[in-house]
Copies of this chain bind each other. A is one copy, B any other.
Amino acid sequence: MSSTIGTLYKVSTFGESHGKAVGAIVDGCPANLQLTEADIQPQLTRRRPGQSDMTTPRDEADQVIILSGTENGKTMGTPIGLMVNNRDQRPGDYGEMSNVPRPSHADYTYQMKYGNRASSGGGRSSARETIGRVAAGAIAEKWLSEQFGTKITSWVSSVGDIDARDLSLEGITREQVDANIIRCPDESAAAKMIELVTATRDRKDSVGGILTCVAEHIPVGLGEPVFERMEAKLAQAMLSIPATKGFEIGSGFSGARMFGSQHNDPFELKADGRLGTVTNFSGGVQGGISNGEPLVFRIAFKPPATIGLAQETSTFDGESTVLEAKGRHDPCVVPRAVPIVETMTALVLMDFVLRQAYRNS
């Protein structure tokens, strides 16, 4: 396990789908930030299951508790302990899976790595693990917003074969994202996505999707080449989210098909006196360092592995069997992934800001 991320804004998470609680410790948050549970709860609420027919009906309050690190509604500079109690466990739902590793799930690899695995839920590989990071990232979001007006917004840009139009230059807000249950601000595409997810759920299948994330008002100079270039660390953060299969920034894979004369972002003086770029194929990063343009990146999520459809597979012992998963499952994880992507982005950015401070002072 490696459940700690960050050099100066250091986040360590704990907890799984069973057990008493999930949570995190945030070490390195600057002192004197106004902070109460109410600042953290909104992103947890956006993440929690049971928000719509699109997501698993498991209903949990997921109320965060600050255990330490604040006094009188302000951070002390000391570690912030964050906890969310587990409530709705129903381990019985998963009992029958024990002899059959679920295809494309973590059952087999956890068994091989640790010599055991959670008897219920997905253990540490379940989406419930992400609660700690979302809570920790929500604090980073607040601090970045207060310091720089940073605005991080993610949305669903594809579900299965349905693509939203490119919204990355449109200044999308979280209100627009949350205007529909699939969290796609292109209403026309959203309707089709919802239809697809509904049909997929009804036939006990699941479907993948893509998130786009845009982070604006980012200081110039963030990122620590060579091994912690901005895009390297964002990629690590995003691919640490369950069910992710790909990451691209700016032009991404399509940039590999371009010529330099098309792809280069020429400089120009911006209205606010800043030296900016005319285009943004770089996605806000040059040489691994933020250039002041919006960070724009996309993350691919595979279809959830747990499906109700019958699957021919094998037991741990190598015997052929048919598996039909029971229990509650998301047919599509991307709407709930939106706050996870946003808060993970905030974690990465805040750590870079703190690490850059000595160069600016």
Contact = CB atoms under 8 A, between A and B. Distances in A.
Contact of A269 (B117, B248, B258, B314): B314
Interface in A303-345: 303-307, 309, 311-314, 316, 318-320
A93 B109 CA distance: 53
A66 B18 CA distance: 12
A124 B76 contact: yes
User: A-B pairs with the 10 shortest C-beta distances?
Assistant: A106-B287, A246-B248, A206-B260, A269-B318, A77-B114, A357-B358, A109-B289, A2-B224, A260-B303, A235-B235
29 contacts: A1-B28, A1-B78, A19-B70, A19-B71, A19-B81, A23-B67, A76-B116, A78-B124, A104-B265, A104-B281, A105-B287, A109-B285, A109-B289, A110-B287, A206-B260, A207-B259, A208-B263, A209-B256, A210-B256, A232-B237, A232-B240, A239-B247, A245-B248, A246-B253, A248-B300, A260-B305, A264-B303, A273-B318, A361-B361
B14 A227 contact: no
Interface string A59-94: 000000111111110101111110100000000000
A27 B4 CA distance: 9
A154 interface: no
A71 B210 contact: no
Interface stretch (A5-13, A48-56, A166-174): A5-13
B227 A286 contact: no
B256 A231 contact: no
Nearest to A329: B260
Given A158-B257, A210-B256, 20 more contacts: A1-B77, A4-B27, A20-B81, A21-B83, A106-B287, A113-B221, A228-B240, A232-B236, A245-B249, A245-B252, A245-B253, A246-B248, A255-B303, A260-B305, A261-B307, A266-B311, A268-B313, A273-B318, A281-B302, A360-B361
B208 A255 contact: yes
B288 A125 contact: yes
A291 interface: yes
Contact of A249 (B242, B246, B318): B246
Interface string A1-45: 111110110101111101111110101101110000000000000
A28 B78 CA distance: 23
A31 to B, nearest CB: 4
A301 interface: yes
A277 interface: yes
Given A256-B208, A261-B309, A300-B255, A30 B359 contact: yes
A224 B36 CA distance: 25
Looking at A65, A69, A244, A262, which has the most chain B CB atoms within 10 Å of its CB? A244
A89 to B, nearest CB: 11
A150 interface: no
Contact of A71 (B18, B233, B316): B18
Contacts of A238: 232, 235
Contact of A83 (B67, B70, B114): B67
B236 A307 contact: no
